[in-house]
Amino acid sequence: MMKYIVLYSSRTGLTKRIARSIADALPAGTPCLPVLQAPADIASYDCLFLGCWMHADEPDQIADEVLHQIRNSHLALFVSLHGTLFSDTIAKKLHHIVEKLPDGIAIEGTFITSMEEDMISSDANLEFAKTFAENTLDRLER
Ligand SMILES: Cc1cc2nc3c(=O)[nH]c(=O)nc-3n(C[C@H](O)[C@H](O)[C@H](O)COP(=O)(O)O)c2cc1C
């Protein structure tokens, strides 16, 4: 089994709640921490689940600082943002985040929570975040 870690940046708490749901679906003992409390051996984890929110259409400042330093071979991104789900706006915002990553990192999955949708912060969205984590895990461990 690969080693997983969940790191998140969150201002009002939504991304943090999603992070916890994701961690619940990953192997027992998977760390779930704010980005600023990332362990020194972060690169030893095979797969990083990284959560951020968007500010001025950039990844929030804390996440922005780590994006270009990621050394894990596998990455799953979860992002809280404004935008109509399924729209090209969302694709462009995600693309903007992905462009900041170093070369060679495999993006294994992405999960969006849009502030425009009723699902924000709902139990259904938290369950959906678990499904995202389970699905990503399943593909990685196959
Ligand atoms: C000050 C502020 C600025 C924001 N700017 C943007 C933005 O430029 N683009 C966007 O898509 N979402 C923007 N948002 C929406 C946040 O991404 C959204 O509220 C997110 O859920 C916050 O996550 P958190 O609860 O984990 O802090 C902004 C939110 C705040 C509070």
Q: CATH number of the domain that 75 lies in?
A: 3.40.50.360
- Measured in whole angstroms, the distance separating CA 118 from the mean position of its chain's CA atoms is 20
Averaged over successive runs of 10 residues, the pLDDT of the chain (142 residues) comes to 97 95 98 98 97 96 96 96 89 95 94 79 88 97 95
Q: Is the CB of 114 under 6 A from ligand 1?
A: no
Residue 108's pLDDT is what? 97
Domain of residue 24 covers: 4-141
Residue 122's pLDDT is what? 81
Residue 51's pLDDT is what? 98
Nearest-CA residue for atom 3 of ligand 1: 55
Residue 85's pLDDT is what? 83
- How many distinct structural domains can be found in the chain? 1
Mutate to test the pocket of ligand 1, among 6, 10, 36, 55 (most ligand atoms within 8 A of CB): 55
The three-state (H, E, C) secondary structure of the chain, written as one string: CCCEEEEECCCCCHHHHHHHHHHHHCCCCCCEEEHHHCCCCHHHCCEEEEEEEEECCEECHHHHHHHCCCCCCEEEEEEEECCCCCCHHHHHHHHHHHCCCCCCCEEEEEEEEECCCCCCCCHHHHHHHHHHHHHHHHHHHC
Residue 5's pLDDT is what? 98
pTM: 0.96
Residue 44's pLDDT is what? 97
